[in-house]
Structures are given as C-alpha cells and as structure tokens.
Amino acid sequence: MSDAAPTAAPAPASASDARPRIVADGPMAGWDAVETASRVGAGEVTAAEVLDAALARVDAVDAHIGGLFHLDGDRAHEVLARRQRSGDTDRPLHGVPTAVKDLDQLAGMPTTFGSRAAGGHLSRRTDAPVRQFVDTGLIALGKSAAPEFGMTPTGEGLGFVPTRNPWDPDHTVGGSSSGAAALVAARALPIAHAVDGGGSIRIPAACAGLVGLKPTYGRLVEDEDMRGLPVKVVSHGVVSRSVRDTAAFMAAAERTFRNPAMPSIAGVDGPGMGAMRRVAMITESLTGPVDPEVTEAVERTGSALEALGHRVEPVALPFPASLTEDFLLYWGALAQGLTASGYARVGRAFRPGLLDPWTQGLAAHFRRNLPRLPLAIRRLRAFRHRYAAFTERYHVVLSPTLGTLPPELGWLSVELPFETHRERVERFVPYTPAWNVSGAPAVSLPMARSRSGLPIGVHLGAAHGDDRTLLELAFALEASAGFNVPLG
C-alpha cells in the first residue's frame, strides 16, 4: 500500500459473509478502514458523519459485549475539527473511527490499565506507539477494554464487566486486546489498536474471526515499557476484518517511523508475485492436546497453501520444552514489576493490594523461582537465534493460533487457583509466546469456524523482518480460501 489514497473497492466479501450473533447495522457497518478512508477522501461522506455513525453503532452493541472502557465522542469530534481546520487531512486513514487499548495512554482520556489497582487517572501524555497509531489519521472515540496490565488472555478482570465474544456472548473473545477485537468483530469499529506481549493481538483475533498481525519487534515505534528489559516481547498493531486494513495501517505507520533495518511494507496490497514458499506445518503442542477442529483448520489451510503452489511439510514441534516455563517465569517477573511501574504511571493512587489474584499469583511464582531467572533469560534470548536458524530452512511456520476453541467465560477466571489458571492458559495459548520471544512477525488469520459456529484462527510466522511475506500469504488465502468458512 502506497501513501496514495486507498482504492474505493468494497471490503473483500470473504471477510464479511459470516456474521456474529451481536453485530451493528447501518450503511457504514460493513465498511472496512480502507473503504471508509476512501469514501471520506472522495467526498462521498464526511469524516464527522462517519464518526457519528460509529458512535451510534457503539451505543447499539456495547452493552452486550463490554468492549469499551471509556467513550468520548466530544473529544473525537474536537480532534477531527482541529485536523480539518489545520488542513491536516491527507493522512492515509483520515477520518476512520477507532479505539485505543486501555493499557496505553492517550492524552485527555482516562487510563486504568484494566486494573482496579490503578483507579482511573486522566492521562496527560500520549504514549509513543499510540501517537504513531493516531498519526495515520485514525480518530479515537474511546478506550477499549483490556484485562489487568494484559496479564491474562481473556477480558475478565475483577471490577469490570467481562468482554464477550460477539459470535457467542457466553464465550471469551480472548485477550488481552479483548475490547478491540469485540468492537471490530461486532462492526462497531472497522479497526482498533491492539498490543501483543504473549499473543494479545493474535489470541483475540483468533477468537473473534479477525486478522491479527504481530509485527516484527522494532518495526513500529518501541514501547517505552520495553526499554532496558532483557527480553523485549511487546509489539503494537491492530485487529481488523480484512488483510488490506492491516496492510494499509502498517504502510501508513511507516510515514511516521520506518526502521531502516527492515524492508518496507509499503506497496503490499495483494498476494505478491506467487513465489513458492517452504512451509513448516505444526499441529502438536507441549501443553496438552489440541482441539481436533483446530487441527482440521490448520490442515485445511495447509492444503490451501499447497493449492497456491507452496510446499507444506509437517514437522515436529521445533520449540524447546523449556520455553513454556521460561516464558511464564519472565511473565511473572513483569507482574512483580507492576508495583513499581504502577506507582510510576499512576502515582500514590496506585493500590497494589487490589491487583487481581492471577497477577498476584504470577508475581509470587516469580519470587519462589527467582534463582532460576538468569538461566531462563539466557535461554529466552538464545531462542531468537534458534528460531532464526529454523527459518533458514522454512520461509513460514504454519500452526494453530490457539490450542482450543474460545472457551466459555469463567474457564479462565482470574479468581481460579493459580495452578489451575496456569494449566488452562498454557493449554489455551501454547504457540503465540514463541514469536514474542523471537521478535519475529506472526499473524492469526480467521480461516475457519467450528461446527458450533466459533471462529478458529490459524497462525503463520515468518523470519525476523519478513512481515511482507505474511501479508502476501494472508492476501492469497483471503482471496482463495476465504475467511470464517465453516468446517465441513
């Protein structure tokens, strides 16, 4: 996608044929971000009209999904009016309504980081990755709901309404970009800000039937919280209903910051030139059996890639057995650090005693196993090189995004005993953290729906910096196999 205005073609039909149970209606509800920006740019509709329509859709569906933590339509209109007065309307995604995840700060809006412990302080600054996000032209109408500091893969933190899956509101929509995924899947918004530290873009994308790309670490502006940490795992991005929206956002973000060490994504607007890729297909897990329908979706995607001319080879799981435990210990170290970082962000209003039981359990796990941390960090840092060696043999790694279908709300309750919650998280999310540790790009694509109607995400990973290959394959699969296609 270039810096020029996007084409006016409607969103791909494959991304919108299947409808969740809870879905907003209206003439603009089916527009993706590219179509919205194109229609605004062509003068078919004003950005203010688009914003008002989005506010109406949010009002219609959010009581049923709990996707929005904070709504501020007045502020959104003020930001839009300021841009129009200054003539600053030539940004690629100008006028497209969105939301910013509540784990990140946007000046003028409250931030809780999804936690009772943080209260609701008014942010006086905008985090650097959020600034890059809105510099694409997107208009934030509010903050999307997220679990406490992104520590768990479901939107069920204490003190907040649970975030529900629009496909079936009795089930989780995943996390930690829970509200973002719920709002986009329900067509209240065309695209939303998301952040991924262990799968938090790809997990909710898989649960909600969306596209979720975790870019290569360092491709976008660095998250301030990662500076100085021994293993940098957090990448910012979006969840969307179409591949072209994700590609358009990534290209637009490069106008603000482009890492010269990585190839540009600008110009990726289709399947590419059809070069054959060597694909390693993984269907096993170290943390328990994979749901048979998930495996079926992966194998069907492998067949679709072969039909496109790629070479798909089943392989044994290439990750070391220590990766799961090492990542959990490192995650616990981040939980332990929340007390200090909470005071730094919120001030004396921070109340660490109100952190959710799961977060406190993670911190306690870290303290119990503190002597093991140096070796765990060495292994995690070494994994980047191990993964790079693997991708010298294979261009792409194909696997499930999740080990199970989206579970019912409560199955991942933060009030469960620590070991129970841990076992369930590891069975639910056995794959995605590997790409956070490696820093390499990965995408979850909504390749199937279960026989009960729940979305199934299929995961593609590539070599460090090769986000372009993932987007080209995603375009090809969207066009040839379709998204959210029921299993036979």
- Which residues are known to be catalytic? 101, 176, 200
DSSP H or E stretch at residue 100: strand 97-101
DSSP H or E stretch at residue 214: strand 211-214
Q: Exposed, middle or buried, 122 (CB in 10 Å: 0-12/13-18/19+)?
A: exposed
Judge contact between 466 and 265, C-beta under 8 A.
Answer: no
Q: Residue 198, Cα to own-chain centre: how many angstroms?
A: 10
**CB 43: neighbour CB atoms within 10 A?**
7
Q: For the chain, first and last CA: distance in Å?
A: 35
d(Cα 131, Cα 279) in Å, to the nearest integer? 36
CA-CA-CA-CA dihedral for 207, 213, 218, 221, to nearest 10: -80
Q: Exposed, middle or buried, 131 (CB in 10 Å: 0-12/13-18/19+)?
A: middle
Instruction: DSSP for 223-253, please give it.
Output: PGGGTT-SS---EEEEEESSHHHHHHHHHHH
**CB 313: neighbour CB atoms within 10 A?**
12
Q: How far is the CA of 218 from the CAs of 213, 259, 440, 441, 477, in angstroms? A: 14, 7, 10, 10, 26
Judge contact between 114 and 358, C-beta under 8 A.
Answer: no
d(Cα 153, Cα 203) in Å, to the nearest integer? 7
Q: Which amino acid is at 465?
A: G
d(Cα 108, Cα 119) in Å, to the nearest integer? 16
Judge contact between 103 and 112, C-beta under 8 A.
Answer: no
d(Cα 278, Cα 463) in Å, to the nearest integer? 12
Judge contact between 61 and 104, C-beta under 8 A.
Answer: no
User: % helix / strand / coil in the chain, to the nearest 5?
Assistant: 40, 15, 45
Closest to 215 (Cα-Cα) out of 245, 181, 246, 169: 246
Strand partners, 435: none
Task: Please list, residue by residue across 376-387, b when 16 or more beta carbons sit within 10 angstroms of its beta carbon and e when fewer do.
Answer: bbebbeebbebb
